[in-house]
């Protein structure tokens, strides 16, 4: 309940920024990475599956890879905004 109350008090700007990030390529990749890490923790605790360690490690490495892709996508997204907002046109060099 406390978290919901705090989210309702956030200014509209931050709510829009969060929604925009979740819908962006970086946000989707970050959420996919988190999901794979969560799946990896499931396999770590579930020893009834024969190759649970293999599945755990594969899920975790996939999660870390998606988080890395998210940071790369976020960085390229920020640079494109900076170039456009500064008024420079790439074709005028």
pLDDT at 21 over 70: yes
- Residue 18: what pLDDT? 81
Domain containing 37 equals 23-85
What does the alpha-carbon distance between residue 38 and residue 83 come to, in Å, rounded to a whole number?
37
The number of folded domains in the chain is 1
pLDDT tens digits for 29-51?
Answer: 999 999 999 999 999 988 898 99
Say how many CA atoms lie within 13 Å of 63 toward its Cβ: 15
Give the whole-angstrom CA distance, residue 26 versus residue 22: 8
pLDDT, tens digit (0-9, with 9 covering 90-100), for 45-75: 888 989 999 999 999 999 999 999 999 888 7
Residue 6 forms part of a structural domain: no
In a domain, 65, yes or no: yes
3-state secondary structure of 8: helix
36 within some domain: yes
pLDDT of residue 84: 45
Is residue 83's pLDDT more than 50? no
Say if pTM beats, i.e. exceeds, 0.75: no
């Amino acid at each position: 309940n406390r978290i919901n109350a705090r989210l309702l008090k956030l200014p509209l700007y931050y709510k829009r920024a969060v929604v925009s990030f979740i819908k962006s390529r970086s946000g989707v990749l970050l959420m996919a990475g988190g999901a794979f890490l969560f799946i990896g923790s499931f396999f770590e605790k579930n020893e009834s599956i024969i190759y649970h360690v293999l599945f755990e490690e594969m899920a975790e490495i996939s999660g870390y890879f998606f988080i890395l892709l998210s940071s790369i996508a976020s960085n390229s997204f920020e640079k494109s905004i900076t170039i456009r907002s500064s008024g420079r046109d790439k074709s005028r060099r």
